[in-house]
Structure 1
Amino acid sequence: MLLISCPNCGERSEGEFTYGGPVQAPRPNPLETSDEDWVDYLTTVPNPLGPVQEYWWHAAGCGRWLSLWRDTRTHDIVEPPHGL
């Protein structure tokens, strides 16, 4: 079980949270990027091995969005969450 430390509520089970996906580069302007880059942005989901910055929403708690670093190999949180 993954334990996430909410800045408002303290340490909680991941069951209280909803995964919001990896933090990505800002969305490119589709009018200023190539078709290939636009399709790649829309369809390619990064799946790196190692530390990844992610968004999590404390849905069953304070309702706050968090950003944290989680190692995809071990599921350990390698940097404490920051509120958004």
Structure 2
Amino acid sequence: MLLIRCPYCEEDRSELEFRSVGEAHIVRPDNIAEISDEAFAEYFFLRDNPKGLIYERWRHIHGCGRFFNAVRHTVSDKFVMTYKAGEPKPDLPAATPVAQPLAQEGAAK
């Protein structure tokens, strides 16, 4: 089970209290009614799926109910940090250290 820190409650809580709501810091087009279908599809549907750090929006649904942002490593699932909605995107290097997955027994070295 993962523990996620809510930046509003200032507590580490079970992942069961939270829901991911997608990628964070997505900029909405200024005049969405006038953009092309392709541009709308790109804005609405296409998201990055990097191997490494990703910036996500989360909601503490069984707690304070507030939205916040998190930096999570997609390989280890480790939450590097959480921060309040509306705060600027932190500038973290892509090589931020995270816990390495355990090697499987009997795997070739």
TM-based fold match above 0.5 = yes
C-alpha deviation, 1:43, in angstroms: 2.8
Secondary structure of the corresponding residue to residue 73 of structure 1: coil
C-alpha deviation, 1:39, in angstroms: 2.4
What's the RMSD between the two structures over aligned residues? 1.7
Q: Which has the higher contact order (CA 8 A, sep 6+)?
A: 1
Separation in 1, partners of 2:37, 2:64: 40
| Residue number in structure 1 paired with 2:63 | 61
| Residue number in structure 2 paired with 1:44 | 46
- Give CA deviations for 1:16-66 in whole Å, capped at 9, x if unaligned: 0011111143122332x4443332223323211110011110000111211
Which amino acid counterpart does residue 51 of structure 1 have in structure 2? L
Separation in 2, partners of 1:25, 1:55: 10
Of structures 1 and 2, the larger Rg is shown by 2
* 1:1-84 mapped onto 2 (5 Å cutoff): 1-7=1-7, 8-28=9-29, 29-30=31-32, 31=34, 33-78=35-80, 80-84=81-85
Q: How many residues align?
A: 82
Structure 1 residue runs of 5 or longer lacking an equivalent are none
TM-score (norm 2): 0.65
Separation in 1, partners of 2:26, 2:84: 19
Identity of counterpart residues, as a percentage?
39
Structure with the largest fraction of strand: 1
Structure 2 residue runs of 5 or longer lacking an equivalent are 86-109
Which amino acid counterpart does residue 36 of structure 1 have in structure 2? E
